[in-house]
Amino acid sequence: MQTQDPTDLLAEVLAKKAGGFVELRFHKRRTRSVAVEKGRVDSSRISEHTGVGVRVLEDGTWGFASTDRVESAAIEKAIDDARRAARASAAKRKERTPDLPRVELARGRFDAPGIDLIDKPIDEALALVLRLEQDARKASSAIQSASSSYTELYEEKGVVTSDGAKAWSRLVRPEFRIMAVASEAGELQRGVERVGVTGGWECLFQHDSPEVLTERASRTAVDLLKAGYPSGGRKRVLLSPNLVGILTHEAIGHTVEADFVASGSCARGKLGARVGSDLVTLCDSGISEYHEGAGGSLPVDDEGVPTQRTTIIDGGKLVSYLHDRESAAAFGVAPTGNARAWEYDDEPLIRMRNTYIAPGEQTYDELVAGIEDGLLLDGAGNGQADANGEFMFGTLTARTIKNGKLGELQRGVNISGQAFDVLCSVDGVSSEFRWDLGSGYCGKGQPAKVDAGGPWVSCEVLVGGRQ
């Protein structure tokens, strides 16, 4: 199941085909998943996808090719193909990419915690999702249907470049999801709980047991049947850590990816400018900060750059973008370890890892008490941000706050705002911190496994309720 470190083979091939910049990336992904709905096993799957991606810089132009055969002749041919593709298009390139500056590149072996999980038989996960799906259906007579799933991504990567990287890394990312659908008088409502980490089984359920997650999903579905809709308009809201995570990822993170900055995102030209209140410090890190297991953790990026914590906003001021090697050279800074490719046949792009707002000093109770008329929003739905900083994301539930007291449950809504305006409206940040989007994927042409989170945050947004 585990592959022998292929970086020596990659280095030998690279030596044989030396000339210009060449990056060889071995990637094996083994996915194990089980999914159950209403007592039926819908999916029970093991999938492997293995190969080598080749990227070259030839005539100042990038060429890329891949092979699913991890052997010298196939990799050499892929190098030739990549060079041929680059040369075929070089005449159309207006500005040649200069040679990449020398930077510190990773060498050695990097194993993330928890990789023993892949030796655990899948039986236990299957038994768990079967039992919990049944528990969810039994939780209330109003529950019509339930589903539960477990997915585990095991990744091995070997990156070797002509300018010195030679890194072999392994990690595993398990995810668990439970959903209950309740029905009453022809109306359907659902409750969903999901967790995902970079780590082992214990890490996956470090905060809440699977039984607690199941009970919560069932209760949410039933309670939402009787809940009303919030009214729309601009409101002060208290965002839960998972919604803070969505805010940092969608509203801020994408706008500071250096490729998007260069295209003209709303963060362009704002380095050093105030973009949030003093309470806002926002980072993206390849390391799991504050708590173990953040779902987007990775020791080395797909260009062989060691990952690190990148502070994007420091006390309300924009201080850095997110870079790969090429953009870092163009901006005259060091790369931040954000080059990521989904599979061996994808080229590396600038992607986030674990994005968060750093914790503050207030308690959750103090934040609730400080809101006169607003909403507590929880449960992250999908989200999207625009070039102009306008973002939207969905919430699963809302709860009214009147005069500092929590009120009735209401149905989730979508919220929107302009990213930096919302950060400037932040007037409270809790000391509690949580990673809470580890089961999420980011889409940017390719998927990427990311995480995001933070403290509870009080801010002002546009709420899309009913008129």
Partner 1 sequence: MGSTDTTRVRDAATTAAELSGRAARLCRRALDAGADQAEVYSVRSQKIGVTFEKGDLKLSQVDDGSTLGVRVFKGGKLGFASTNQASDEALAGVARDALALCALNPPDDANRLPATRAAAPALDLIDPAIQALGIEEVVDYGQRFLDRAAQHDARLAIDKASVELHFTTHSLVNSEGVELSESDAALGTSIFGMAIDGDDVGGFHYTGDNIRRASRIEASLASAADEFAEVCLGNLNTGVGESYNGPVLFAPDAVLDLFVAPVVSAASAIAVQRGRSALKGKLGESIAHESFQLLDDPTDLALTGAASFDREGQPIGAFPIVENGVLASYLYNAYAAAVEGRESTGHAVGGARGLPGLGPHALSMAPGQGGDRDALLRSMGRGLYVMRFSGSIDPASGDFSGVAKSARWVEGGQVVRSVREILISGNAFELLRRFVALSSTAPTLHGAARAPWALVDGVSVTAG
Task: Restricting to residues 180-239, name those near partner 1 by CB under 8 A.
Answer: 181, 183, 186-190, 229, 232-234
Using the minimum distance from each CB to partner 1, give the nearer residue, 166 or 194: 194
Instruction: Please report whether residue 41 would count as binding partner 1 according to CB under 8 A.
Output: yes
Three-state DSSP class for 116?
Answer: helix
By the 8 A CB rule, do 168 and 108 touch? yes
126 touching partner 1, by CB under 8 A: yes
Touching partner 1, residues 365-404 (CB under 8 A): 381-382, 384, 386-390, 392, 394
Between 59 and 432, name the residue whose CB sits nearer to partner 1: 59
Residue 52 exposure: Cα atoms within 13 Å on the Cβ side: 29
Cβ proximity to partner 1, 151 vs 288, nearer residue: 151
**Shortest reach from residue 14's CB to partner 1, in Å:** 19
Which residues on neighbouring strands pair with residue 179, listed in sequence order?
147, 192
Q: Which is nearer to partner 1, 402 or 466 (CB)?
A: 466
Nearer to partner 1, 106 or 181 (CB): 181
CB of 359 to partner 1, least distance (A): 28
Q: Which stretch binds partner 1 (CB under 8 A): 14-22, 49-57, 278-286, 432-440?
A: 49-57
Using CB under 8 A as the binding rule, the residues of this chain from 253 to 282 that contact partner 1 are 259-260, 262-266
Least distance (Å) between residue 54 CB and partner 1:
10
Return all residues near 386 (Cβ < 8 A) that are at least 6 apart. Answer: none
User: What does the block give as tokens for 99?
Assistant: 């040679």
By C-beta, is 168 or 260 nearer to partner 1?
A: 260
CB of 391 to partner 1, least distance (A): 8
Q: How far is the CB of 107 from partner 1 (least distance, A)?
A: 26
Q: Which two tokens stand for residue 90?
A: 């070089």
Unique residue bearing structure tokens 């704002």 = 270
CB-side neighbour CA atoms (13 Å) of 376: 21
CA–CA dist 452, 393 (Å, integer):
14
Task: Name which of 404, 400, 312, 307 is nearest 356 in CA terms.
Answer: 312
CA angle 94, 99, 101 (to 5 degrees): 130
Q: Which is nearer to partner 1, 219 or 309 (CB)?
A: 219
Q: How far is the CB of 405 from partner 1 (least distance, A)?
A: 26
Task: Pick between residue 61 and residue 307 the one whose CB is nearest to partner 1.
Answer: 61
85 to 114, contacts with partner 1 by CB under 8 A? 85-86, 88-89, 92-95
Number of residues that bind partner 1 (CB under 8 A): 86
Rounded Cα gap, residues 26 and 67, in angstroms? 10
Task: Please answer whether residues 165 and 159 qualify as being in contact, where contact means their C-beta atoms are separated by less than 8 angstroms.
Answer: yes
Which has the closest alpha carbon to 370: 429, 282, 445? 429
Give the Cα separation of 226 and 228 in Å (integer).
7
Q: Name which of residues 295 to 354 contact partner 1 (CB under 8 A).
A: 345, 347
- Which of 7, 25, 51, 251 binds partner 1 (CB under 8 A)? It is 51
User: Is residue 251 within 8 Å of residue 391, measured between CB atoms?
Assistant: yes
Among candidate residues 436, 385, 455, the one with its CA nearest the CA of residue 415 = 385
Q: Footprint of partner 1 on residues 155-184 (CB under 8 A)? A: 181, 183
Q: Which residue has the tokens 């260069």?
A: 262
Task: Give the one residue of 9, 13, 14, 64 binding partner 1; rule: CB under 8 A.
Answer: 64
